Amino acid sequence: MRELAASSLALPATRVPGLPAGRGPRLALARRPLLTFGLAIVLLIVMLAALAPVLPLRDPNVTAPARRLAGAGVNGYLLGSDQLGRDLLSRLLWGARVSIAVALVAAAVALVAGGAIGMLAGFYGGLTDNVLMRLIDILMAFPYVLLAIALVAALGPGLLNALIAIAVVNISFYARGVRAAVLVVRRAAFVEAARALGASDARILLREVLPSVAPPLLVFVTLNLGALIVETAGLSFIGLGAQPPTADWGTMLADGRQFMMTAPHVAAIPGFAVLALVWGLNIVGDGLRDMLDPTLAHTAH
Amino acid sequence: MQRYLLQRLALVVVVLLSVSLLVFVVTRLTPGDPARVMLGPRATDEQLAQLHVIYGLDQPIHVQYVSWLGHILRGDLGESIQLHRPVLTEVAERFRATLVLAFAAMLVAFSTGIGVGLAAALRANTLLDRLLMSVALLGISLPPFWVGLILIIAFSLILRWLPATGMLSATGDGGPPDLLAHLVLPTISLAVVPLAVIARLTRANVLEVVNQLYVRTARAKGLPPLVVVLGHIMRNTLIGTVTILGLEAGWLLAGTVYIETVFAWPGLGSMLVNAILQRDYPLVQGGVLLVAGVYVLINLATDILYLYLDPRLRYA
């Protein structure tokens, strides 16, 4: 995400030139093994998380003090148990539901709010643009982790408040990205044509501008989701996110931190989960970006 | 150009004022009464009221803000409720520790990141390039606090090579070797993500200029490869590098929040987390204000550097 901001968000606002007409998605995937691999990781984790209630797992919150800090494979714990004897595999999958849900909702909120600001600023320009973007500048004047922490501090620790904080912090990134993309198309012939036909501003924005900025936005969301997952885990890790007994990947890391000496796997496993999911999302984001911008792909791979 | 600079400075003032307002409002929204936190659950209403008067907590909120702002402009950040010492002293001490860590991480991230990115770009589409970029992609996906935990497990608990927490040993002489030993693991944890980001962006920036005609000309007229790389290629990626420098510097300052928590590093980040959990308003305000102020100044410095590096901007 930071990387996207750094590359000045000159997202290509063209209509999927990487996919010539007549070629299905299957061929596109077959020619991109890395993208397929990333997609597979993400889908696997999302599916396991979605299926957690029907999988034969122990209750993630049932404690068994006699079998605490079991190693992987011991006592029927596939990934071992934590300091209260809770099944790590079960907590990992149930925790995935929390982490993924928070990241998705936060991304949706930031996308809608930031996207609306960016579209209005980019489309109308002038005073509207100036006022909206100066507000965004102020929001960006805060180092974003700090702003999230300050907001959570104000609202009180908790998963919902962490979600709000993370969404607010990411609005500025979407606003800037969408504005840059809108600036590219707002003088395009198809926008002029729609205006000449007498279409209203709202119609032009939603039916002409939005579809043409959607593909680069998809790349943006994919790469941003990874950052959101890390941010959510981070807030939970320092005690400002999910509260016990709710398991999310961040609180699991915090739990494991206290037993690094005797049971390092308790801290290691949730971190691997975060890494795998974020890695998968980043691979997919990179792959999609290359598909959308063949010139970049040519130099990049 | 002067007009641009004046506009830019005016924006800095507006942003700093907004930041101060935001910090103030946000910390006042915090649930929980700091007086109650200080005095404990058995405090009487009279004791609470007395403390409210001492800290001005009984005044209307806009009065509190104006008086608070006035004090800040005079260099008085108030007194920490929990530590009973001036916020400015505490924050300055903590900031020094954070600067040491952030600077070390920045040094590692930039020197290694630019090197890796350049190597990958000059060998674009080879096995080396692919390997480096795959590792970089993995690198940007790492949760920094988890990297810290793994490093502690490996190098402090299992191998016992390096200390796990703190900035200086309680028993040691506190000399540079002691500081360095404590610095290694937090620096790596903090640097790893920016390093990967910088490597990827440097590669992209270099690839943008490497096929330009002036680079071909420089090569064709027989300049040594090193001169071409440094004088023609790297020189023209400087703008991009400065952009990253500004962004990463800000991120490093904030990223220390997690890393300092993991390594019990006595910096601003760990101080802020503690202050938030203790509801120490003055300390939270002072700390956030300082970090945000430094961040704003880094952004200003970045913009001025652009003017210096790119003559076209000076006449725009």
Tell me: the pLDDT tens digits for A73-113? 666 666 777 777 677 888 888 888 989 999 999 999 999 99
Nearest CA-CA partner of B271 in B72, B97, B42, B64: B97
- Cβ separation B145–A237 shorter than 8 A: yes
Q: Which pLDDT score is estimated for B315?
A: 63
Instruction: Please give the structure tokens belonging to residue B130.
Output: 């692919």
pTM for the predicted model, two decimal places: 0.82
pLDDT grade for A68, boundaries at 50, 70 and 90:
low
What does the pLDDT average to over B94-117?
92
Mean pLDDT is lowest, of A65-74, A195-204, A289-298, B73-82, for A289-298
Q: Is the pLDDT of residue B170 over 70?
A: no
Mutate to test the interface with A, among B21, B22, B91, B141 (most CBs of A within 10 A): B141
Which positions in chain A touch B276 (Cβ < 8 Å)? 149, 152-153, 240
Structure tokens at A35: 């993208």
Query: Of B26, B142, B152, which has the smallest distance from its Cβ to A151's Cβ?
Result: B26
Q: Please state the rounded mean pLDDT for residues A51-65.
A: 75
What's the rounded mean pLDDT across residues B55-65?
77
**Residue B20, both tokens:** 């101060």
- What is the structure's pLDDT at A16? 45
| Angle, helices A88-124/A264-292, rounded to nearest 10 degrees | 30
> Residue B105 pLDDT > 90, yes or no?
yes
Pick the residue from chain A with its C-alpha nearest to B150: A268
Q: DSSP of A72-98, one letter per residue?
A: TTGGG-SS-B-TT--BHHHHHHHHHHH
CB contact under 8 A, A142 and B292: yes
Q: Which of A143, A279, A286 sits opposite B251 (nearest CB)?
A: A143
Inter-CA distances, B137 with A93, B158, B188, Å = 24, 28, 17
Min Cα separation A206/chain B (Å): 32
Does the structure show a pLDDT above 70 at A1?
A: no
Please state, in angstroms and as integers, the Cα–Cα distance from residue B158 to each residue in A263, A297, B141, B149, following that order. Answer: 12, 43, 25, 12
Mean pLDDT for A153-172 is 83
CA of residue A68 relative to chain centroid, distance:
33
Q: What is the largest CA-CA distance in chain A?
A: 76
Residue A93's alpha-carbon distances to A45, A49, A87, A89, A235, in angstroms, are 8, 5, 10, 6, 19
Top residue of B20, B122, B149 to mutate, by most chain A CBs within 10 Å, is B149
Check residue A12 and give its pLDDT: 44
Smallest CA–CA distance from B126 into chain A, residue: A301
> Taking CA A230 as the corner, what is the angle to CA A262 and CA A289, rounded to the nearest 5 degrees?
135
Percentage of chain A exceeding pLDDT 70: 79
**What value does the mean pLDDT of chain B take?**
83
pLDDT of residue A17: 46
* Residue A142 to residue A272: CA distance in whole angstroms: 30
Nearest residue in A to B147, CA atom = A271
In the predicted structure, residue B290 carries a pLDDT above the cut 60? yes
Report the pLDDT averaged over residues B227-255.
80
Which of A238, A249, A274 to mutate to test binding with chain B, by most B CBs within 10 Å of its CB? A238
Helix axes B144-151, A264-292, angle to 10 degrees: 140
Query: Which residues from chain A sit within 8 angstroms of residue B291, using beta carbons?
Result: 143, 146
Q: ipTM of this model?
A: 0.80
Which of the pair, B56 or A225, is modelled with greater confidence? A225
Q: How many CB atoms lie within 10 A of CB A267?
A: 23
Q: What angle do CA B111, B116, B120 make, to 5 degrees?
A: 150
In A, which residues are within 8 Å of B250 by CB distance? 143
Strands (E), chain B: none
Neighboring chain A residues of B27 at a CB cutoff of 8 Å: 150, 153-154
Residue partners of A107: CB distance under 8 A and separation at least 6: A167, A170, A221, A224, A225, A228
Size of interface A-B (CB pairs under 8 A): 152
pLDDT of B30 over the 70 cut: no
The band of A298, judged by pLDDT with boundaries at 50, 70 and 90, is very low
Within B158-175, where are the H helices? Answer: none
Mean pLDDT confidence for A232-240: 86
Q: Of A102-116, A212-226, B125-139, which gets the smallest average pLDDT?
A: A212-226
Q: What is the pLDDT of residue A290?
A: 79
Task: Give the pLDDT of residue B111.
Answer: 92
**Beta carbons of A274 and B146 less than 8 Å apart:** yes
Longest CA span, chain B: 86
CA-based nearest distance B8→chain A, Å: 12
Distance of CA B163 to the CA centre of its chain: 23
pLDDT bin (cut points 50, 70, 90) of residue B21 is confident
Classify residue B73 as exposed, middle or buried by CB count within 10 Å of its CB (0-12, 13-18, 19+).
exposed
Query: Which chain B residues are within 8 Å of A143, Cβ to Cβ?
Result: 250-251, 253-254, 291-292, 295
Alpha carbon of B296: minimum distance to chain A alpha carbons (Å):
6
DSSP for A232-288 reads: HHHHHHTTSSS-TT---HHHHHHHHHTTTTT-HHHHHHHHHHHHHHHHHHHHHHHHH
CB contact under 8 A, A237 and B140: no
Q: Which pLDDT score, from 0 to 100, does residue A22 have?
A: 47
What residues of chain B lie within 8 A of the CB of A274, using their CB? Answer: 143, 146
Higher pLDDT among residues B76 and B91, named by residue = B91
Instruction: Please tell me the predicted confidence (pLDDT) of residue B138.
Output: 92
Report d(CA A138, CA B233) in Å as an integer.
35
Task: Give residue for tokens 């990463």.
Answer: B248
